[in-house]
């Protein structure tokens, strides 16, 4: 069981997703920006390892315009050594990493152009895992997509597109149950058709479900992961921000709710991503709780 947080470290004075405007694109600017993003990513990973935070969602913005046609620079070649070094560090410290391409990646869109741009984005993000020499346990996490007024058709379009994906993307792709459109049940239908693992989101499941108790839902999702190829279940954890719109993530970890949730995972040992606004502050509190319960080691793993 590893605990993590997404993309941004609020303690350090750097970000791994510095970008610039499309209008000011040039290769020199690209190289400079990727260099500082990778340097910052390395610092964040070190910060995490020193504190026992061994799960991390990498920012999709490491390479600005990474899948945009304007970016023809061979950054994969130019930064091969840096990516490899980061991958070595991840592996040496038994970390788990993921990407979560944003809402523009929609594999089941009826618009072929959107589908092609989505695939290009997945290829870009998957290629960063390849450069890090990480295996298929490093995941690309997306949602099923839009409904377009016909759930069955929307699901069948996702399945058809999935089957056309490049191998490097397909082995790493996972789908997450969402809070409004595609439930765990819908994701299970997709899984049954093509074998794709389901990344479980407890909060989304609370928002949208068919009555499955939390513990049962976790078991169903975990059953879609091949331990050898996919690794342990990944899950997103959050809870409702009181007084806000349904589905709004809490601003800080609600420790009592987290403690009440934990028994639901049983002996699954999932890697848990805290989708909580204050990032590593809450992740550190979650690790402290797991240490207290004896679910993770009392001391961080030594740095290699």
Task: Give the binding site for DNA (CB under 7 A).
Answer: 6, 8, 15, 18-24, 60-61, 64-68, 102-104, 106, 109-111, 114, 117, 121, 145-148, 180-181, 245, 247-249, 277
Residue 187 beta carbon to DNA: minimum distance, rounded to whole angstroms: 16
DSSP assignment of 35-103 equals HHHHHHHHHHHHHHHHTT--EEEEPTTSSTTTTSTT--S-HHHHTHHHHHHHHHHHHHTT-EEEE---T
Nearer to DNA, 117 or 170 (CB): 117
Number of H helices, E strands in the chain: 11, 8
Residue 66 beta carbon to DNA: minimum distance, rounded to whole angstroms: 5
Cβ–Cβ < 8 Å for 276, 250: yes
Residue 28 beta carbon to DNA: minimum distance, rounded to whole angstroms: 13
Residue 185 beta carbon to DNA: minimum distance, rounded to whole angstroms: 17
| Residue of 41, 229, 198, 50 whose CA lies nearest to 131 | 41
Nearer to DNA, 40 or 222 (CB): 40
Residue 285 beta carbon to DNA: minimum distance, rounded to whole angstroms: 17
Residue 80 beta carbon to DNA: minimum distance, rounded to whole angstroms: 20
Tokens 């390479």 -> residue: 63
Tokens 């792709």 -> residue: 173
Distances (CA, A) of 45 to 176, 182, 273: 24, 33, 15
Nearer to DNA, 94 or 116 (CB): 116
Nearer to DNA, 101 or 197 (CB): 101
Nearer to DNA, 104 or 292 (CB): 104
Nearer to DNA, 61 or 231 (CB): 61
| Residue of 50, 58, 41 whose CA lies nearest to 138 | 58
Residue 231, class by beta-carbon neighbours within 10 Å (0-12 exposed, 13-18 middle, 19+ buried)? middle
Q: Which residues contact 62 (CB under 8 A, 6 or more apart)?
A: 16, 17, 34, 37, 38, 41, 128
Residue 139 beta carbon to DNA: minimum distance, rounded to whole angstroms: 18
Nearer to DNA, 4 or 6 (CB): 6
Distances (CA, A) of 28 to 20, 25, 40, 164, 230: 12, 9, 19, 35, 37
Nearer to DNA, 230 or 275 (CB): 275
Q: Which residues contact 80 (CB under 8 A, 6 or more apart)?
A: 131
Residue 15 beta carbon to DNA: minimum distance, rounded to whole angstroms: 4
């Amino acid at each position: 069981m590893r605990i993590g947080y997404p993309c941004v470290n609020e303690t350090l004075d750097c970000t791994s997703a510095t970008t610039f405007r499309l209008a000011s694109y040039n290769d020199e600017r690209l190289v400079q920006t990727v260099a500082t993003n990778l340097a910052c990513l390395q610092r964040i990973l070190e910060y995490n390892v020193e504190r026992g935070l061994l799960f991390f969602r990498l920012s999709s913005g490491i390479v600005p315009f990474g899948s945009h046609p304007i970016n023809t620079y061979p950054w994969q070649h130019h930064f091969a050594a840096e990516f490899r070094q980061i991958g070595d560090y991840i592996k040496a410290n038994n970390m788990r990493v993921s990407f979560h391409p944003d809402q523009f990646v929609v594999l089941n869109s009826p618009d072929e152009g959107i589908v092609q741009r989505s695939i290009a984005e997945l290829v870009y993000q998957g290629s960063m895992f390849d450069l890090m020499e990480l295996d298929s346990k490093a995941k690309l996490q997306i949602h099923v997509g839009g409904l377009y007024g016909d759930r069955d058709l929307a699901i069948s379009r996702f399945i058809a597109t999935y089957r056309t994906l490049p191998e490097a993307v397909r082995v790493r792709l996972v789908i997450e149950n969402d809070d409004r459109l595609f439930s765990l049940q819908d994701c299970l239908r997709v899984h049954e058709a093509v074998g794709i693992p389901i990344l479980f989101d407890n909060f989304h499941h609370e928002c949208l479900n068919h009555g499955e108790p939390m513990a049962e839902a976790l078991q169903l999702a975990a059953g879609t992961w091949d331990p050898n190829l996919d690794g342990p279940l990944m899950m997103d954890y959050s809870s409702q921000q009181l007084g806000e719109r349904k589905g709004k993530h809490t601003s800080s970890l609600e420790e009592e709710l987290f403690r009440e949730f934990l028994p639901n995972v049983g002996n699954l040992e999932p890697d848990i991503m805290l989708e909580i606004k204050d990032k590593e502050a809450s992740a550190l509190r979650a690790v402290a709780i797991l240490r207290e319960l004896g679910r993770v080691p009392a001391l961080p793993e030594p740095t290699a």
